[in-house]
A and B are shown apart, each in its own frame.
Chain A
Amino acid sequence: MGRRVSEVTGSVGRVPASHMPPEVLIRAEGLVKTFNKKNSPPFTAVAGVDFEVRRGEVFGFLGPNGAGKSTTMRMIGCVSPVGGGRLSLFGLDPDTQGPQIRARLGVVPQEDTLDLEMRVRDNLHVYGRYFGLPRAVIRERAERLLEFVQLTDRAEDKVEPLSGGMKRRLTIARALINEPEILILDEPTTGLDPQARHVVWDRLYRLKQQGTTLILTTHYMDEAEQLCDRLVVMDKGRIAAEGSPRDLIERYATRDVLELRFPLGEQEQAVEKLQGLGERLEPLPDRVLVYADDGEAALSEVSTRGLEPVTALVRRSTLEDVFLHLTGRTLVD
């Protein structure tokens, strides 16, 4: 067998991936999900997506709210019936073998579903018992997992007073109690403050290093860039592009971006004067983006053309720019 989460905190050495061909754990072909709401036309949340997730990789779904990420994740988690197309996990069929599949998954839902009245440790216990694990096994794993998510000293406290970041880490620990082969995270850091996000990222990065297969959705491009080996950009229920973060940036953006802000009402004129500058112009409501491989050169060209922006900033391209190029919209509204 491959690497499991049991190795997360233990001393067990991991198997180098190079000795094995990449094993496909999840395969989706033309995956569709349509909701039939009363008194309104059917709503297609996922409109035919194809992807593969291989053992040991971190695979991301990047897209704005409503792109169909969570619905796709729910189908992968076997808690929402497949609406069309084909989906298989571990070569099993979610429709008929959901319990077997779920036994091998760990899920961190978008909203924490912890029992706030219970103690931290008991939350892990209840969840472990749901998987049918013996008490002694849960006790031993809970110890390790609480240490892994840095909650050992809160083990006997109730969940309620914990901070958002701690609750999220506890949810991650809980999802690991059955030593899953795949950990699914739906927007793991949404709603957390920057410091708490970094702690979560750090833990996820460790899981990744130990070879756990991770699938995550996010609408934060920095999260996707930091964690994902490979990702798909989703928009309106479809996959707009697929690749590694670096691939996507190289394919769909220039090296640099020049961000220019002009005084109110003067942007339109400015955009006209900017035509031809860089590879591409992207006027947004509050600023203009100039895509150019050399941002500094583009900036000096701006003043040469007699323009005086209020602010000017040269930065590297990110997945945000990829998304903007693919969909014409920003990720976070």
Chain B
Amino acid sequence: MAVLDPASVPVPSPSASGPPAPSGWVLTWRQARYWITFFRRTWRGTVLSAVLGPLMYLTAMGVGIGTLVDQDHNLPGGVTYLSFIAPGVLAATAMQNGIFEGAFPVLGSLKWFGNYWAAVNTPQRPRDVMFGTALQGVARITILSTVFFAAMAGFGTMHSAWAVLALPASVLTGTVFLFPMMAFTVTLDSDQPLTVVFRFVMTPLFLFSGTFFPWQQLPAWMHPVAFATPLWHGVELCRELTLGTVDLGSALLHLAYLFAFLALGVWLALRNYRRRLYLDR
């Protein structure tokens, strides 16, 4: 504000004063930008575990156990065990990252960092806070998936040109889990329920969605359960793409299911963020 001559000071007409509101994109970006600053402190550890994790998985499971499994040539299509589980672990790891990204950043923002409670007093709306947090979550899922994808390629598990699409497919799979997890975590006051989700939702999904063995091995009554989980669709989609067995019909079915789940997750997250941040629950 410059020094103004009192006589020339116009009485502001209230409705006309003040700049227009920034768009939702800008407001979302302001929240996402916070997380870039936030993770600038910790990215080294993240990258290290992102690289070491897949290498250990692919070596131990694929090469180690694979040597035993491959003696019987039991896998559909006669592929090696390494080629079989690599896309499965790609999708399942993306899910895991999606769930973690929907858990600790959200709970931390509510309990420890104070940034959500600070953000609501700025132009950001609950939806901007939600999408801004999600943006950083998707970014991290993408980075971690890319590292794993590169490792997979190094192990020679790509059998088709379609395989490049397995990367976006795995990011989609992780994102599908990100939003419902954010919707859940934003209602919490402690981290106890998170442990329950990790143990009783994430781990069973990880083990029984066709990641480590063909879903046909499951007892028949569990088949519909497997089909109902988004992870199963993600695993199947990634595997069909890297093995080159994909056909349009099943791919569209998987995508439709994943996107439907994504839409549900976004809706829940929007609703729960608004309730929590505006104390309207």
Contact = CB atoms under 8 A, between A and B. Distances in A.
A2 B124 CA distance: 25
A132 interface: yes
Nearest to A159: B114
A23 interface: yes
Contact of A100 (B20, B33, B113): B20
A6 B1 contact: yes
Interface in A23-41: 23-25, 35
A90 interface: yes
A112 B2 CA distance: 32
Given A100-B18, A115-B115, A126-B34, A109 B12 contact: no
A107 B120 CA distance: 10
Interface residues of B, number: 42
A97 interface: yes
Contacts of A80: 278-280
B124 A100 contact: no
B118 interface: yes
Contact of A102 (B7, B19, B123): B123
Given A6-B1, A115-B113, A117-B113, A109 B14 contact: no
Interface string B19-30: 111100011001
Interface in A95-139: 97-100, 102-105, 107, 109, 111-117, 126-127, 129-132
Interface stretch (A7-15, A284-292, A305-313): A7-15
B228 to A, nearest CB: 28
A126 B21 contact: no
Given A4-B1, A12-B1, A100-B21, A91 B15 contact: yes
Given A1-B9, A99-B22, A90 B14 contact: yes
A102 B117 contact: no
B27 to A, nearest CB: 7
Q: Which of A4, A77, A107 has the most CB of B within 10 A?
A: A107
Contacts of A131: 122-123
B279 A74 contact: yes
Contacts of B248: none
Given A15-B4, A130-B124, A81 B114 contact: no
Contacts of B280: 35, 80-81
A194 interface: no
B17 interface: yes
A1 B123 CA distance: 21
Q: Which of B9, B31, B117, B118 has the most CB of A within 10 A?
A: B118
A92 interface: yes
A99 B30 CA distance: 13
A82 to B, nearest CB: 11
Interface of A: 1-2, 4, 6-7, 12-13, 15-16, 19-21, 23-25, 35, 74, 77, 79-81, 90-92, 97-100, 102-105, 107, 109, 111-117, 126-127, 129-132, 174-175, 178-179
10 contacts: A2-B12, A21-B11, A23-B11, A79-B121, A80-B280, A91-B13, A100-B21, A130-B34, A132-B30, A179-B1
Given A19-B7, A74-B279, 7 more contacts: A6-B1, A23-B14, A80-B279, A103-B19, A103-B123, A109-B121, A130-B119
